[in-house]
Structure 1
Amino acid sequence: MSIKIKDQPFYIQATAVLFGLILVVYALNILGEILVPLAFAVFLSILLNPLCNKLQQLKVPKVLSIVIAMLIMILSVLLVFYFLSTQIVQFGDSLPMLQKKFESITADLKNWIQSSFGVTLAKQEQMIKDALNSSQAMVGKTLNSVLGILSVVFLLPVYIFLMLFYKTLILNFLYEVFAEENSKKVSEVLTETKTAIQSYIVGLLIEMIIVAAMNSAALMLLGVKYGILIGCIGAILNLIPYLGGIIAIALPVLMATITKDGYSTQLGVVIAYIVIQFIDNNILVPRIVSSKVQINALMSIVVVLLGNQLWGISGMFLSIPFVAVLKIVFDRIEPLKPWGKLLGDNVPTKQVVEIWRSRRKAAIVSGVKDKG
């Protein structure tokens, strides 16, 4: 006779779920080098699918339509990298001067710390060395993430081409693997997943362009050197939800500190970026990025940090669309609907909470009476 987990005490159910989660996370960590390129390929192939379908409607052969769509994507990426590389070359020409200025500011800061707090220069040097030694593990992890991204770049075209080519086979498998009575739910999940991912990625690209323009314009008006380069880097960092925008402020502030006297420019940069972040979070994201699936801020931050811990930089970018797909699935399966609500951005009103509490109390009272 089989024993169902749901009929067991809560501590047994919780242990089984926790054990399952540990196995899943362990497998995702071990297989990261394989799964990360596949995950990016899935999202990008879904993004390119409408263009491939449009080309095939125009009587373009399937293989050729896939190649054309991929070439358009690759050329777009190369144009962005070419633009950034021209800015980086200009930055490299001024690097020796910036290094001298940075060393001068660092020396003044050390002298100020010594006079204000009594920490000797030798002790400060030792503290810096200890901090650098302790950060070696983090640097190693970053290098691994960079190498992982490079492997993603080389494998992506192959994966994307094959996924678009075998799209019908993959969809047919997803329909057949579930029972026939669930085919309607499977179709709804696949349709909503496709729409959510497409709108999310396209929205992110549009948001990135607008934020890059606003960042660059603000920095150039404030007279910050290499404002276009730093503004574009800030827009790319802004793709990391909530955390990226905070990190992006440090770059122009540091550049203004190195290249300008006083602190008025730094204050202007902070104010400008706060205004840009306000516009981004309250106007751009709700109207451009948001799709039918809304993930609340708390869960967004948590999953981004978890994604970084699991797969590094790649995990940070993949975390939000991955959770969006999870929410779509949770919303379609009755026992998992509470988890979908937990991930979502629809906060229940106080009246709804009171209704649930009263129902809970009534159920408890009814259970006590039945036992009596």
Structure 2
Amino acid sequence: MYIKIKDQPFYIQSTAVLFGLVLLVYVMIQLADILVPLAFAAFLAILLNPLVNRLEKYRVPKIISIGIAILVMIIAVATVFYFLSTQIVQFGDSLPMLQKKFQSITADLKTWIQQTFGVEVSKQEKMLKDALNNSQAVVGKTVNGLLGTLAIIFLLPVYIFLMLLYKTLILNFLYEVFSEENSKKVSDVLAETKGAIQSYIVGLLIEMIIVAAMNSAALILLGVKYGILIGCIGAILNLIPYLGGIIAIALPVLMATVTKDGYSTQLGVIIAYIVIQFIDNNILVPRIVSSKVQINALMSIIVVLLGNALWGVSGMFLSIPFVAVLKIVFDRIDDLKPWGKLLGDNIPTHHMGEMWRNRNKRKAVLPQQEKQKIEKAGG
């Protein structure tokens, strides 16, 4: 006999939910090498699907249409990498000079710490060495994440090609998995998911280009070396919600510290980036990044951190669109609507407890009013 989980006591519900979450997280961690490329491929396949459909309308064969769409994507990515590589080469030429200046600043900092706090230079070096040894595991994890990202890049074209080729088969499977009376809900979820992902990714790309231009212009005007490279890297880091912006500010401040005397440039960089972040968060994101992806700030930070713990750098990029898809699904299922509201950005004006208290007060007042009316009528 089928029993709904909501009819069970709370401790049974919570145990079942926690067990399901633990099992899901365990599977996602164990199968990360397979699931991460598939997740990226699915998002990019949805993004390229309109181009494939347009080419097919012009009677271009399906396989050739998919090949052209993937080729356009590869050319766009290669162009960005070529531009960044030319900037990195210029940065590499000045690396010995920057390293020498950085060592000089570090030596001055150690001397200042010794004079101010009485900590010997040898003890500072030991503490720094211990910190570096403790961070080796983190560095190793980051390197593994980067190597995994490179593996994803080579697998992506294959996965995208196959997903676009078997698109109809995958859609039919999704419709047939659910009962016929749910076909309307499935259709709505798929349509909203496609629209949200396409709008979100396109919006992010446009936002990244505008932020890169603003970052680069600000750094060039402030006289920071390699302003274009650092500005573009900051725009890419800005794709990681909230956390990426903090790292993006640290890079130009560090470069200004190494290449310039005094602290006026660093202060200018911080002010410029605060202004850019304000423009980005209050103008670009609401207007350019699709409003269909409405995840509140608290949930955004939590899911980005969870994504990093789960799949590293790849998980941080995938977390927001993944949760946006979950919200679309939650909003369409009655029992899961509270979870959709929790993820959403709509803040209610009153909480449920206050509404219930007001309702109970009205219930208590009404009998008293009725009694007063009867007494007046009798008098």
Pairwise TM-score range, normalised by the shorter structure: over 0.9
Structure 2: gaps (5+ residues): 364-379
Q: TM-score, normalising length from structure 2? A: 0.93
Number of residues of Structure 1 aligned to a counterpart in Structure 2 = 363
CA offset at residue 360 of structure 1? 8.6
Q: Which residue of 1 aligns with 2:262?
A: 262
Q: Which residue of 2 aligns with 1:366?
A: none
Distance 1:298-1:86 versus aligned 2 partners, 3 A rule: same
Q: Which residue of 2 aligns with 1:157?
A: 157
Q: CA RMSD in A?
A: 1.5
Instruction: State whether structure 2 residue 78 is matched by structure 1 residue 78.
Output: yes
Matches of 1:172 and 1:126 in 2, distance apart?
A: 63
Distance 1:122-1:360 versus aligned 2 partners, 3 A rule: farther
Instruction: State whether structure 2 residue 20 is matched by structure 1 residue 23.
Output: no
Matches of 1:18 and 1:361 in 2, distance apart?
A: 37
Q: Which residue of 2 aligns with 1:97?
A: 97
CA offset at residue 355 of structure 1? 2.5
Structure 1: gaps (5+ residues): 364-372
Distance 1:10-1:263 versus aligned 2 partners, 3 A rule: same
**C-alpha offsets along residues 184-238 of structure 1, whole Å, 9 cap, x if unaligned?**
0000000000000000000000000000000000000000000000000000000
Q: Is the 8 A contact 2:42 2:160 kept in 1?
A: yes
Look up the equivalent residue of 2:120 and give its one-letter code.
Answer: T
Q: Which residue of 1 aligns with 2:366?
A: none
Structure 1 ranges of 4+ moved more than 4 A: 1-4, 356-363
Instruction: State whether structure 2 residue 293 is matched by structure 1 residue 301.
Output: no
SS of the residue aligned with 1:225? Answer: coil
CA offset at residue 8 of structure 1? 1.9
Q: Is the 8 A contact 1:91 1:226 kept in 2?
A: yes
Q: TM-score, normalising length from structure 1? A: 0.95
Q: Is the 8 A contact 2:216 2:228 kept in 1?
A: yes
Matches of 1:353 and 1:70 in 2, distance apart?
A: 53
Matches of 2:356 and 2:345 in 1, distance apart?
A: 19
Q: Is the 8 A contact 2:200 2:293 kept in 1?
A: no
CA offset at residue 340 of structure 1? 0.1
**C-alpha offsets along residues 98-157 of structure 1, whole Å, 9 cap, x if unaligned?**
000000000000000000000001100100010001101101110110111011011100
Instruction: State whether structure 2 residue 102 is matched by structure 1 residue 64.
Output: no
Matches of 2:6 and 2:247 in 1, distance apart?
A: 45
What are the residue-to-residue correspondences of 1:192-207 with 2, within 5 Å?
192-207=192-207
CA offset at residue 362 of structure 1? 9.9
Distance 1:360-1:30 versus aligned 2 partners, 3 A rule: farther
Q: Which residue of 1 aligns with 2:318?
A: 318
Q: Which residue of 2 aligns with 1:32?
A: 32
CA offset at residue 277 of structure 1? 0.1
What are the residue-to-residue correspondences of 1:104-183 with 2, within 5 Å?
104-183=104-183
**C-alpha offsets along residues 10-63 of structure 1, whole Å, 9 cap, x if unaligned?**
011101110110000000000000000000000000000000000000111000
Q: Which residue of 1 aligns with 2:371?
A: none
Q: Which residue of 2 aligns with 1:367?
A: none
Q: Which moves more between the two structures, 287-296 or 26-35?
A: 287-296
Look up the equivalent residue of 1:334 and give its one-letter code.
Answer: D
Aligned-pair identity in percent equals 81
Matches of 1:202 and 1:356 in 2, distance apart?
A: 44
CA offset at residue 293 of structure 1? 2.8
Q: Is the 8 A contact 2:29 2:310 kept in 1?
A: yes
Q: Is the 8 A contact 2:304 2:315 kept in 1?
A: yes
Matches of 1:305 and 1:24 in 2, distance apart?
A: 17
Distance 1:150-1:359 versus aligned 2 partners, 3 A rule: farther
Distance 1:235-1:47 versus aligned 2 partners, 3 A rule: same
